């Protein structure tokens, strides 16, 4: 486990996180929260999630490490890593490192993470991508349930989960 490695994810009531390569339930306040949490840190992101960003471009004001198995892939404004180990090595000296998806990348880095910022949306959408149900994992606990909020008819909370 790497001390500074944290996950940032928005998940619905079934831990669903996306459908057909894009996020299903989007809350504007969550976008702001995401920027605040990850601001000026390093983000680790899967190549498919990067493709879903506006313009397919890396995030501004953050070091972007994109996971891909393609050794020839070059991305303007980002570095590439070709394995979990390579990504971990690249960011070993960075103070704050955030794993920002998608599904395959969350699953690959969960064993190395100590905290998860989960925007929990108390609704159920159609999804084909899922985050692991942290409440079913014995080594994770809900450290802070956050306060319940509402946006555009959706109830949600900014939860903090931690490895125990």
Ligand X SMILES: NC(=O)c1ccc[n+]([C@@H]2O[C@H](COP(=O)([O-])OP(=O)(O)OC[C@H]3O[C@@H](n4cnc5c(N)ncnc54)[C@H](OP(=O)(O)O)[C@@H]3O)[C@@H](O)[C@H]2O)c1
Contacts with ligand X, residue ranges (CB under 6 A)? 9-10, 17-18, 21-23, 46-49, 52, 67-70, 82-84, 100-105, 108, 129
Based on CB atoms, which residue is closest to ligand X, 74 or 138? 74
Question: Element (H or E) spanning 56, and its range?
Answer: none
Based on CB atoms, which residue is closest to ligand X, 73 or 138? 73
Min dist. Cβ of residue 89 to ligand X (A)? 13
Based on CB atoms, which residue is closest to ligand X, 54 or 138? 54
Min dist. Cβ of residue 156 to ligand X (A)? 12
Min dist. Cβ of residue 103 to ligand X (A)? 4
Distance CA 110, CA 133 (A): 11
Written as six digits, the tokens of 49 are 């999630």
With contact defined as beta carbons under 8 Å apart, do 80 and 69 qualify?
Answer: no
Min dist. Cβ of residue 101 to ligand X (A)? 2
User: Tokens 């998806």 map to which residue?
Assistant: 101
Q: Could you tell me which of 10, 50, 16 has the C-alpha nearest to residue 30?
A: 10
SS3 79: strand
Based on CB atoms, which residue is closest to ligand X, 53 or 138? 53
Distance CA 27, CA 12 (A): 12
């Amino acid at each position: 486990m790497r001390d500074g490695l944290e996950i940032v994810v928005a998940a619905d009531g079934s831990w669903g996180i996306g459908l057909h390569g894009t996020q299903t339930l989007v809350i504007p306040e969550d976008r702001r929260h995401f920027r605040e949490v990850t601001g000026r840190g390093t983000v680790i992101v899967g190549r498919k999630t990067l493709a879903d960003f506006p313009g397919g471009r890396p995030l501004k004001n953050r070091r972007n490490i994109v996971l891909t198995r393609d050794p020839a892939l070059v991305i303007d404004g980002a570095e590439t890593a070709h394995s979990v180990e390579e990504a971990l090595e690249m960011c070993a000296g960075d103070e704050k490192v955030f794993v920002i998806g998608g599904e395959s990348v969350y699953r690959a880095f969960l064993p190395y993470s100590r905290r998860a910022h989960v925007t929990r949306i108390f609704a159920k959408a159609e999804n084909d991508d899922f985050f692991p149900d942290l409440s079913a994992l014995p080594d994770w606990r809900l450290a802070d349930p956050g306060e319940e909020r509402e946006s555009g008819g959706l109830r949600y909370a900014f939860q903090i989960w931690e490895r125990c």
